């Protein structure tokens, strides 16, 4: 069982960029792969902006900012990951897309000991593991957004994950990245999202039913329950498309009504109102932060 010294990340959206950043800040060389050159440039810019914010707020020194960015290579070809000790998949929460990534990684990785990790929020890890010839090396390593700030990682071994893979993943996330770990069962939603998503969906249903505005619901939970974000602002942060995808996975596995995505959520995703990443969700967003509530269904 070897140590993890070279890290790869597939996807450089909010989660992939955050994972790459924390690995680079921990002193490791990181190669990130995006789908094309344009997305790769945008991904590197996203990481650079995050590091700059951390430095401007005093979280890291300007020197550490520059060193971390220098450790990160962003490419547009999966072959760039052939020599990695750990590869974290952080693409869209779409099972078909993730299966394709795992199949391709399995074919190109030269190290038999490489740990293949998925950052999926809800898809059962065993489905991704069995798309490879090395299911014992596949594990769920679920970070939380924003990755550089939130300390938790859910470790999700499948029925076929080896004890060595679990130990290496835990040593890496706690000892190298300094994260806190909980072990979660390989079931849709794991621990955190199985509890969180019904709460978010209940807030969507309140807006859909006209019980309260998005702004009042969020203010109520922030001021009345001391939550750092209200449920609808949190759904906007996660991404309404990702929230829907997690809910779909939960409902497909358990068929419980509280996991079923409300029609309003689906319509907003269809309309491209995805939250912060699109500039509009249940609230509107600008560079200065959230504004007024944006989605308010009409009765009728």
Q: Name which of 80, 86, 94 is nearest 22 in CA terms.
A: 86
User: pLDDT grade, residue 290 (50/70/90)?
Assistant: low
The total of other beta-carbon atoms located within 10 Å of residue 50's CB is 22
Q: Name which of 10, 26, 191, 176 is nearest 103 in CA terms.
A: 10
Strand partners, 212: none
Average pLDDT over residues 26-49: 96
Which H/E stretch holds residue 272?
none
User: pLDDT grade, residue 294 (50/70/90)?
Assistant: very low
Mean pLDDT of the chain: 93
Phi then psi for residue 3, to 5 deg, are: -80, 165
- pLDDT at position 291 is 56
Spatial separation of the C-alpha atoms in residues 285 and 168, rounded to whole Å = 40
Which residue's structure tokens are 């909980």?
Answer: 182
Which residue's structure tokens are 């220098």?
Answer: 70
Bond before 146 cis per omega within 30 degrees: yes
Q: Name which of 195, 143, 131 is nearest 169 in CA terms.
A: 143
Q: Are 31 and 9 in contact (CB under 8 A)?
A: yes
Q: Which domains does the chain have, with CATH numbers?
A: 7-183 (3.40.50.720), 192-291 (1.10.1040.10)
- pLDDT at position 299 is 31
pTM for the whole thing? 0.89
Q: Give the tens place of pLDDT for each residue, 159-189.
A: 999 999 999 999 999 999 999 999 999 999 9
Nearby residues of 244 by Cβ (< 8 Å), 6 or more positions away: 261, 265, 266, 269
3-state secondary structure of 142: strand
Q: Are 156 and 190 in contact (CB under 8 A)?
A: yes
Helix axes 37-56, 14-25, angle to 10 degrees: 60
Spatial separation of the C-alpha atoms in residues 98 and 127, rounded to whole Å = 10
Nearby residues of 197 by Cβ (< 8 Å), 6 or more positions away: 189, 243, 246, 247, 250, 259
Q: What is the DSSP letter of 297?
A: P
Catalytic residue numbers, as ranges: 121, 142, 154, 193
Which residue's structure tokens are 């071994």?
Answer: 157
Average pLDDT over residues 126-132: 97
Average pLDDT over residues 238-253: 95
User: pLDDT grade, residue 293 (50/70/90)?
Assistant: very low
Which residue's structure tokens are 């080896």?
Answer: 162
């Amino acid at each position: 069982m070897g140590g993890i010294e070279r890290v790869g990340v597939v996807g450089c959206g909010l989660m992939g960029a955050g994972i790459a950043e924390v690995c680079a800040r921990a002193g490791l060389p990181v190669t990130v792969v995006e789908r094309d050159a344009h997305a790769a440039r945008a991904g590197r810019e996203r990481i650079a902006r995050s590091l700059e914010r951390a430095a401007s707020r005093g979280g890291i020194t300007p020197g550490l900012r520059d060193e971390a960015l220098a450790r990160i290579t962003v490419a547009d070809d999966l072959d760039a990951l052939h020599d990695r000790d750990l590869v974290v998949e952080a693409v869209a929460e779409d099972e078909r897309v993730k299966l394709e990534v795992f199949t391709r990684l399995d074919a190109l990785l030269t190290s038999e000991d490489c740990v293949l990790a998925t950052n999926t929020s809800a898809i059962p890890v065993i489905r991704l593991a069995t798309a490879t010839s090395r299911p014992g090396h596949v594990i769920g390593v679920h970070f939380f957004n924003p990755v550089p700030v939130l300390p938790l990682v859910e470790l999700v071994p499948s029925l076929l994950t080896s004890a060595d893979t679990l130990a290496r993943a835990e040593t890496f996330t706690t000892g190298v990245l300094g994260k806190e770990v909980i072990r979660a069962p390989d079931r849709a939603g794991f621990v955190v999202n199985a509890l969180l998503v019904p709460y978010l969906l209940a807030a969507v249903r309140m807006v859909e039913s006209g019980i309260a505005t998005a702004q009042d619901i969020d203010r109520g939970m922030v001021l009345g329950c001391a939550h750092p974000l209200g449920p609808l602002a949190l759904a906007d942060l996660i991404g309404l498309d990702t929230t829907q995808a997690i809910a779909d996975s939960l409902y497909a596995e358990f068929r419980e009504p509280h996991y079923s995505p409300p029609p309003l959520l689906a319509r907003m995703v269809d309309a491209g109102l995805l939250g912060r990443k699109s500039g509009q969700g249940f609230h509107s967003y600008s560079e200065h932060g959230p504004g007024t509530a944006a989605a308010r269904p009409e009765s009728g």
